[in-house]
Amino acid sequence: MLATLATVPANAVLAVSWEPELRGLLTVIIAVVALCGSVYLLLGTNVGARLGFLVALTGLAGWMVLMGMLWWIYGIGLIGEDPSWRQVEGRTVIQDSDSLRQAGVIEARPQVDADADPLTEAIAVRAVLIDEGWRQVSESDAEFGQAATAAGNYLQETGAFGPGEFRVTDMYEIGGERRPKINESIDFLAFWHAPKFALAEVAPLEQLRTEPGRAPVPAEIDTERQRQYVYMVRDQGSRRVPSAMLTIGSTIVFLSLCWMLHRRDRIVEENRRAELVPAG
């Protein structure tokens, strides 16, 4: 058996990836022993083991309440998912302007001739969107880049286009109003949002021929192919949910421990006021 163990390569033993888990476990143990343990040791030697543990645990819960409130306010520390654009199920990639009405994106039909070119049809769709309350997003806005990236991912996932075969030419959005709002300056109580939608206009690209020995020519928009649209809805995410749960849970524990300390003080006070009963 010893001979068998001796034949095991040393690299096979060293390849076990347990270091991150062990390091994290040791970090938690050292932090608890150094911080919580030192406070409990100091309190336990002064007020007793049971009462010292209760006071130390109450202080830890109170500290976690303050930490959770700071994380909740500033959106740091223990965070959840960031806001992102999600696909509208069954209506994500829309092939033409007629499908926009069928998907419920617009109500009016764009006024274009049957033989109109794709650019003219796209301009007519833009006019209908603006008339029905959609806002055109500028390319310089950060929202344009985020929504365009999400639209590109959905186009590639569905197989409508491959990488480098399309360009997001326009971006429209609607909804997203916060409520309740007293006015534009007092909105710190507006915790609810109306659904926010985005519509990305995508133009197919025409790959130009490349000549040997010369730099490749950038692809241009194919004016003969139909524009397509990507319909998305905004997911507000859950960035502050973990910190909110930590704050609420720690507050419940903190108040419960404070009530236990208060109840103990009342019992001790009643016992001290009671008359002494002689033994025997």
pTM comes to: 0.74
pLDDT at 18: 57
Contact status, residue 29 vs residue 16, Cβ threshold 8 Å: no
What is the residue-averaged pLDDT of the chain?
86
> Residue ranges per domain, the chain?
20-78+241-270, 84-207+217-235
pLDDT at 17: 54
* DSSP codes joined into one string, the chain: -HHHHHTS-HHHHHT---HHHHHHHHHHHHHIIIIIHHHHHHHHHHH-HHHHHHHHHHHHHHHHHHHHHHHHHHT-SS--PPPEEEE-TT-SEE-SHHHHHHTTS-SSPP---TT--HHHHHHHHHHHHHHTT-EEPPTTSHHHHHHHHHHHHHHHHHTS--TTSEEEEEEEEEE--EES-SSSS--TT--EE--EEEEEEEEEEEPPP--TTSPPPPPEE-TTSPPEEEEEEEE---TTHHHHHHHHHHHHHHHHHHHHHHHHHHHHHHHHHSPP----
Instruction: With a cut of 70, say whether residue 196 has pLDDT above it.
Output: yes
Instruction: With a cut of 50, say whether residue 154 has pLDDT above it.
Output: yes
1 pLDDT band (50/70/90 cuts)? very low
Q: What is the pLDDT of residues 17-54, one digit of tens each?
A: 556 677 888 888 998 889 889 999 999 999 999 999 99
Average pLDDT over residues 218-245: 91
Instruction: With a cut of 50, say whether residue 97 has pLDDT above it.
Output: yes
Instruction: With a cut of 80, say whether residue 210 has pLDDT above it.
Output: no
Instruction: With a cut of 50, say whether residue 145 has pLDDT above it.
Output: yes
